[in-house]
Amino acid sequence: MKNRGHTRANILTCAEELMQQRGFHGFSYHHIAERLGIRNAAVHYYFPSKADLGVALIGRFRENFRFWADQMRSRGATPTEAIEGFFDIEERYCAQTRVCPLGVTGVELPGIPDPMKDAVRGLLNDVRQWLLTNLEAGRETGELSFSGNAETRADSMLAALQGSLQLARLTDASAFQRIVEQLRVDLGMDPSPAVREFAAAQAIRSMPA
């Protein structure tokens, strides 16, 4: 049973990397089997259809995000530290030349299976609500300062981060860094080195690659 659990987890890890680098339609079970040194039938055993794999992938992203958010909260992260941690997760994607799961699935949404679409919308709702909560809390405490309503600000931040990852792939990582720095300016953030170190540490410890 233990080996079966490892095989399933390894398939998901491999599929996650492929999806974020190539898109959901950019890889097949053959690519997974070849990378892991297993047979195609083994992938089909755990995920009879690619729709099953897609739903499991998004479910894993959602579980990971919730786990990370819970860890940030349990460690007493301030809104600034929490948002810095979110930037660090995106920065890790950039360093690995990956696109965030919402960016990948957003582009491919018309062609992905319906059950996977529902899972993607669930992930988006989780991320948006988390970001909205921290933006509102940060403005209330005076940590953050921005114009307009927090919901629109959250959406514009998500759009900017997704676009920055795409732009970084076409140019270089400095494009991502410039956009994130502008987001900090727009939010009135001036995180100290200690805050950035805390946020980066939580991203590494709590958010699986």
pLDDT band (50, 70, 90) for residue 209? very low
How many H-runs (helices) and E-runs (strands) does the chain carry?
10, 0
pLDDT at 194 over 60: no
How far the first Cα of the chain sits from its last, in Å, is: 24
Tell me the C-alpha to C-alpha distance, in Å, between residue 26 and each of 6, 19, 38, 75, 99: 24, 7, 20, 38, 13
Tell me which residue of 144, 65, 152 sits closest to 101, measured CA to CA. Answer: 65
C-alpha–C-alpha distance, residues 66 and 86, integer Å? 12
DSSP for 149-200, written as a single string: -HHHHHHHHHHHHHHHHHHHHHS-HHHHHHHHHHHHHHTT----HHHHHHHH
DSSP category for residue 96? T
Q: What number is the average pLDDT over the span 10-25?
A: 96
C-alpha–C-alpha distance, residues 64 and 71, integer Å? 11
pLDDT at 2 over 50: no
The residues, ordered by sequence, that sit 6+ positions from 195 with a Cβ below 8 Å of its Cβ are 78, 80, 81, 84
pLDDT 10s digits, 64-118: 999 999 999 999 999 999 999 999 999 999 999 999 999 999 999 999 999 999 9
Domains along the sequence of the chain with CATH:
58-206 (1.10.357.10)
Regarding predicted confidence, which is higher, 196 or 129?
129
C-alpha–C-alpha distance, residues 124 and 121, integer Å? 5
Output the pLDDT for position 78.
Answer: 95
Other residues' Cβ atoms within 10 Å of the Cβ of residue 209: 12
C-alpha–C-alpha distance, residues 202 and 89, integer Å? 9
Q: Which string of b and e fits 45-69 if b means at least 16 CB within 10 Å?
A: ebbeebeebbbbbbebbbebbeebb
Output the pLDDT for position 203.
Answer: 52
pLDDT at 181 over 90: yes
